Amino acid sequence: MKNRMKNIFLILLCGCLAISCQKELDFGSGDITPPNDFPVNDTCFACDYSPICDSSQFNYIDTVNGVAQAKSFLYDVKSDTVVNAVTFKKILELNSNTMNYFSCSNNVLKIYAPSATSTGGTQLSNIIQTPLKSNEPAGTRWKDVIQVTGGSIEYRYTIIEKGITYPVLDSNYTNVIFVRDTAVSIVPLMGEIPFAVRESYYAKGIGMVKVILKDLIIGQTQMVSQLKSYHFR
CATH code of the domain in which 54 resides:
2.40.360
Cβ-proximal residues to 20 (8 Å cutoff; 6+ apart), any chain? 13, 14, 60, 62, 64, 71, 223, 225
Distance CA 146, CA 131 (A): 13
Partner residues linked to 68 by β-bridges: 63
pTM here is: 0.83
- Would you place residue 181 in the very low, low, confident or very high pLDDT band (cuts 50, 70, 90)? very high
Q: What is the pLDDT of residues 148-173, one digit of tens each?
A: 878 888 999 999 999 999 999 999 99
Q: DSSP alpha helices (H): ranges in the chain?
A: 2-17
Q: What is the pLDDT of residues 84-102, one digit of tens each?
A: 899 999 999 999 999 999 9
Distance CA 122, CA 153 (A): 14
Please check the confidence at residue 24 and state whether its pLDDT lies above 50: no
Partner residues linked to 12 by β-bridges: none
Distance CA 148, CA 178 (A): 28
Distance CA 233, CA 224 (A): 27
Partner residues linked to 105 by β-bridges: 108
> Which pLDDT score, from 0 to 100, does residue 13 have?
53
> Which pLDDT score, from 0 to 100, does residue 42 have?
65
> Which pLDDT score, from 0 to 100, does residue 41 have?
54
Residues constituting the chain = 233
Q: Which residues of 64-92 are buried (b: 16+ CB within 10 A; e: fewer)?
A: eeeeeeebbbbbbbbeeeeeeeeebbbbb
Domain total in the chain: 1
Its domain, for residue 47, covers 2-231
**Lowest mean pLDDT: which of 65-69, 118-122, 181-185?**
118-122
> Which pLDDT score, from 0 to 100, does residue 164 have?
98
